Chain A
Amino acid sequence: GAVVSQHPSRVICKSGTSVKIECRSLDFQATTMFWYRQFPKQSLMLMATSNEGSKATYEQGVEKDKFLINHASLTLSTLTVTSAHPEDSSFYICSARSLAETQYFGPGTRLLVL
């Protein structure tokens, strides 16, 4: 299947700092990428849909000024968690949609805010 990478895989930061997570589709062009958050033993919750060259569409309850999304190219989307707090600690997963309409997930980024 298609390959999606995320970087970093794990990050620990202090409260109040910002963290940037990159999501790349390695062997296909993805006009649409999705960002999810998953808390322990819970399912994936969609945060936002990212379209190349346009503003992201955020789900209800997700603060767009806190979770900044940039989809600069057909293979790269970034999620920046601004002024992170302990409650933002979670597993963040991106996915990219291929032309075949299947979504492929990245390996995830585990964020711990102290």
Chain B
Amino acid sequence: GQNIDQPTEMTATEGAIVQINCTYQTSGFNGLFWYQQHAGEAPTFLSYNVLDGLEEKGRFSSFLSRSKGYSYLLLKELQMKDSASYLCAVRDGGFQKLVFGTGTRLLVSP
């Protein structure tokens, strides 16, 4: 079956660094995506990992270990606008569809 786990909620302060973890067990694997979703809006693409290692994009970085079924999203220099849900999604190798985790609600406080 498909199982993708993320913490439900996290809190952090403005200017800090936060790491959101994602573990997965899926029947196939063809890449892992991170999306940001503000309340009432559609998800926006943040990052994509298909090989092991770290991908850096500005204040956001994403890491993947395929052997451990593990990824994390690292957010640096947190800003208030980073308060949102962060969704980890695994692309099924056979059907190319995305399977989403439950999402992590991040609250950034002053």
* Chain A residues at the B interface, C-beta cutoff of 8 Å: 1, 32, 34, 42-46, 49, 57, 91, 93, 95, 97, 101-108, 110
Contact = CB atoms under 8 A, between A and B. Distances in A.
Interface residues on B, range: 20 to 34
A102 B31 CA distance: 10
Contact of A46 (B33, B43, B98, B103): B98
Main SS class of interface, A:
strand
28 contacts: A1-B45, A34-B97, A42-B102, A43-B101, A43-B102, A44-B87, A45-B100, A46-B97, A46-B98, A46-B100, A49-B95, A57-B95, A93-B42, A93-B43, A95-B98, A97-B96, A101-B91, A101-B96, A102-B33, A102-B45, A102-B48, A103-B33, A103-B98, A104-B45, A105-B35, A105-B45, A107-B41, A110-B40
A34 B41 contact: no
Interface of B: 31, 33, 35, 40-45, 48, 87, 91, 95-103
A104 B97 CA distance: 13
Given A1-B45, A46-B100, A108-B41, 10 more contacts: A34-B98, A43-B101, A43-B103, A49-B96, A49-B97, A91-B40, A103-B45, A104-B45, A105-B42, A110-B40
